[in-house]
């Protein structure tokens, strides 16, 4: 069995639809023209019959016979008029006889064969039969001209059908070529990506186009995300290998030192340093797992929550911690905030990371402000401190995975906290913004304030 390609099936479908639609149109036109022609023949025939009946009523059969003789005009050879007696005998006649001898035709309008023998058996007539006294009046015309017109119309409709078929084939080929070109653009990109080139994109993807444009946009967006994830994976792998090298080397050195120590007190101190290095490595790995989790959470795990209540819970949890560090803590939460679709656990963890960063860098005697603001259709979950802040040129580095500024290299950490915050912001179709608090840093998670 031959299996047709998609483009071939589309072409056949276009041709079939064009042919069917034109056949339906041709049939409708033929039926309309045919019915109009029949109505015209009936109307003209009945009018002539009414005129002859009027002659009979005014002058009787003799006057009708003279009218029939006068109807023998050479200019109208298609005219049929006759009077048939009760016994079927023709009393007067012009043109060929209708019906059989000895049998009177039935009353009404008829279209049928003129006679049973050639040449009249091949010809049709439209005639009306009227009762006039004991006799019947037959009046009508041969339909030679009418049939010739009908055949001309049928030939024209047949030609129109053939033309529509040709146009349908041409249109089908055009549609096939168009669809094939659009699909080939997509398949070329997919084949290029399958060969490892993640930079390939479908060209000319309009934002408000047809289904092919929407497919191209979705594919390009998917490839953008895949390329970004692969780039981040490469950066993470390189960064993880680089950042784990030093802790693992220190871990090995302290393990060897602990083994070689003969003094129990020194051995215990060495084991304590070993545990610290182990905890650092474990935190790095745990943070990496949390970032991966934030990037892979499905959208259906998000639910409508009250952002003000969430911020109040976080403020209540962290206020004692900040005050124990000798800093002032303030929560500024906008009242009447609408419910927003959020992931409660991940957003709480991201805000907690921002507060931990502020605690680490603000310094003793400083202040930390937790703020919720709704403006321009966006919700801002904001943490402000009074520390040294981050220079504008260094903010992109601060958001990068394993990105650590020179001023923070002496502090514990792996440079993954802000990367986790950015991953949570992307999960909510939002972003992270770093600004100047003059002095200090303003770190905000900005998400759409919509359900």
> How many CB atoms within 10 Å of residue 64?
24
Determine the 3-state secondary structure of 2 from DSSP.
Answer: coil
Structure confidence at residue 296 (pLDDT): 63
Structure confidence at residue 253 (pLDDT): 73
Write a three-state SS string for 41-63. Answer: HHHHHHHHHHHHHHHHHHHHHHH
The DSSP letter of residue 365 is T
CATH code of the region 6-147: 3.30.450
Q: Give the span between the Cα atoms of 136 and 79, in whole angstroms.
A: 17
Residue 47 has pLDDT above 80, yes or no: yes
Angle, to 10 degrees, between the axis of helix 344-362 and the axis of helix 307-324? Answer: 30
Residues 267-275: what's their mean pLDDT?
71
Q: Which tens digit of pLDDT belongs to each residue from 8-24? A: 777 777 777 777 887 88
Under 8 Å between Cβ of 372 and 332: yes
* Confidence grade of residue 289 (pLDDT, cut at 50, 70, 90): low
Residue 406 has pLDDT above 50, yes or no: no
Q: What percent of the chain has pLDDT above 70?
A: 75
Residue 180 has pLDDT above 60, yes or no: yes
Structure confidence at residue 409 (pLDDT): 44
Residue 366 has pLDDT above 90, yes or no: no
Residues 362-368: what's their mean pLDDT?
74
Give the H or E element holding residue 131: strand 124-132
Strand partners, 90: 84
Q: Give the span between the Cα atoms of 450 and 309, in whole angstroms.
A: 16
Tokens of 132: 């006039």
Structure confidence at residue 446 (pLDDT): 92
Under 8 Å between Cβ of 91 and 135: yes
Q: pLDDT: is 447 or 250 the higher one?
A: 447
Closest CA to 20 of 159, 168, 158: 168
* Confidence grade of residue 115 (pLDDT, cut at 50, 70, 90): low
DSSP 237-266: HHHHHHHHHHHHHHHHHHHHHHHH--SHHH
- Looking at every residue in the chain, the average pLDDT score rounds to 77
Structure confidence at residue 57 (pLDDT): 86
Structure confidence at residue 371 (pLDDT): 92
* Confidence grade of residue 73 (pLDDT, cut at 50, 70, 90): low
Residue 116 has pLDDT above 50, yes or no: yes
Q: Which tens digit of pLDDT belongs to each residue from 217-256? A: 888 888 888 887 787 777 667 666 666 666 667 667 767 7
Closest CA to 173 of 10, 412, 4, 385: 10
Out of 131-145, 400-414, 429-443, the most confident range is: 429-443
Strand partners, 93: 82
Residue 88 has pLDDT above 90, yes or no: no
Structure confidence at residue 372 (pLDDT): 92
Q: What percent of the chain has pLDDT above 90?
A: 5
**What class has domain 300-448?**
alpha beta
Residue 352 has pLDDT above 60, yes or no: yes
Q: Is the CA virtual torsion 34, 36, 39, 40 positive or negative? A: negative
* Confidence grade of residue 410 (pLDDT, cut at 50, 70, 90): very low
Determine the 3-state secondary structure of 87 from DSSP.
Answer: coil
Strand partners, 432: 445
Closest CA to 359 of 441, 446, 243: 441
pTM, full prediction = 0.45
| H-helix segments, 391-450 | 395-399, 417-427
Residue 55 has pLDDT above 70, yes or no: yes
Structure confidence at residue 102 (pLDDT): 55
Cβ-Cβ contacts under 8 Å for 423 (sequence gap 6 or more): 291, 294, 295
Residue 1 has pLDDT above 60, yes or no: no
The DSSP letter of residue 339 is P
Residue 408 has pLDDT above 50, yes or no: no
Residue 382 has pLDDT above 90, yes or no: yes
Per-domain residue ranges for the chain? 6-147, 247-296, 300-448
Strand partners, 125: 112, 142
Q: Which of 67-71, 303-307, 383-387, 402-406 has the lowest mean pLDDT?
A: 402-406
* Confidence grade of residue 326 (pLDDT, cut at 50, 70, 90): confident
Residue 397 has pLDDT above 80, yes or no: no
Residues 78-90: what's their mean pLDDT?
79
Q: What are phi and psi of 325, to 5 degrees?
A: -85, 5
Structure confidence at residue 235 (pLDDT): 67
């Amino acid at each position: 069995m031959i299996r047709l390609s998609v483009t071939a099936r589309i072409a056949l479908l276009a041709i079939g639809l064009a042919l069917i639609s034109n056949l339906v149109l041709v049939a409708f036109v033929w039926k309309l023209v045919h019915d109009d022609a029949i109505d015209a023949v009936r109307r003209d025939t009945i009018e002539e019959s009414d005129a002859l009946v009027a002659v009979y009523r005014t002058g009787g059969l003799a006057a009708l016979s003279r009218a029939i003789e006068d109807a023998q005009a050479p200019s109208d050879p298609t005219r049929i008029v006759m009077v048939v007696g009760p016994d079927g005998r023709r009393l007067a006649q012009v043109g060929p006889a209708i019906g059989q001898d000895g049998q009177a035709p039935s009353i009404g309008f008829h279209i049928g064969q003129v006679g049973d023998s050639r040449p009249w058996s091949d010809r049709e007539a439209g005639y009306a039969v009227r009762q006039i006294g004991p006799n019947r009046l037959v009046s009508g015309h041969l339909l030679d001209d009418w049939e010739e017109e009908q055949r001309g119309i049928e030939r024209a409709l047949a030609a129109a059908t053939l033309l529509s078929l040709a146009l349908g084939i041409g249109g089908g080929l055009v549609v096939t070529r168009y669809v094939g070109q659009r699909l080939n653009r997509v398949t070329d990109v997919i084949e290029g990506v399958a060969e490892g080139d993640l930079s390939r994109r479908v060209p000319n993807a309009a934002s408000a186009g047809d289904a092919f444009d929407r497919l191209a946009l979705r594919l390009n967006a998917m490839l953008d995300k895949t390329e970004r994830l692969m780039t981040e994976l490469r950066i993470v792998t390189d960064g993880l290998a680089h950042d784990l090298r030093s802790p693992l080397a220190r871990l090995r050195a302290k393990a060897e030192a602990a083994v070689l120590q003969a003094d129990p007190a020194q051995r215990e101190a060495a084991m304590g340093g070993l545990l610290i290095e182990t905890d650092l490595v474990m935190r790095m790995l745990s943070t990496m797992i949390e970032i991966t989790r934030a990037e892979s959470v499905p959208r259906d795990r998000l639910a409508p929550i009250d952002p003000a209540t969430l911020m109040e819970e976080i403020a209540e949890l962290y206020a004692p911690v900040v005050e124990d560090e000798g800093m002032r803590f303030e929560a500024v939460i906008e009242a009447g905030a609408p419910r927003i679709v959020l992931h409660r656990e991940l957003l709480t963890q991201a805000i907690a990371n921002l507060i931990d960063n502020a605690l680490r860098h603000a310094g003793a005697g400083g202040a930390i402000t937790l703020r919720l603001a709704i403006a321009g259709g966006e919700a801002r979950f904001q943490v402000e401190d009074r520390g040294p802040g981050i220079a504008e040129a260094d903010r992109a580095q601060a958001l990068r995975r394993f990105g650590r500024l020179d001023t923070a290299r002496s502090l514990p950490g792996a440079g993954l906290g802000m990367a986790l915050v950015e991953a949570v912001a992307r999960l909510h179709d939002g972003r992270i913004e770093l600004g100047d608090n003059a002095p200090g840093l303003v770190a905000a998670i900005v998400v759409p304030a919509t359900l």
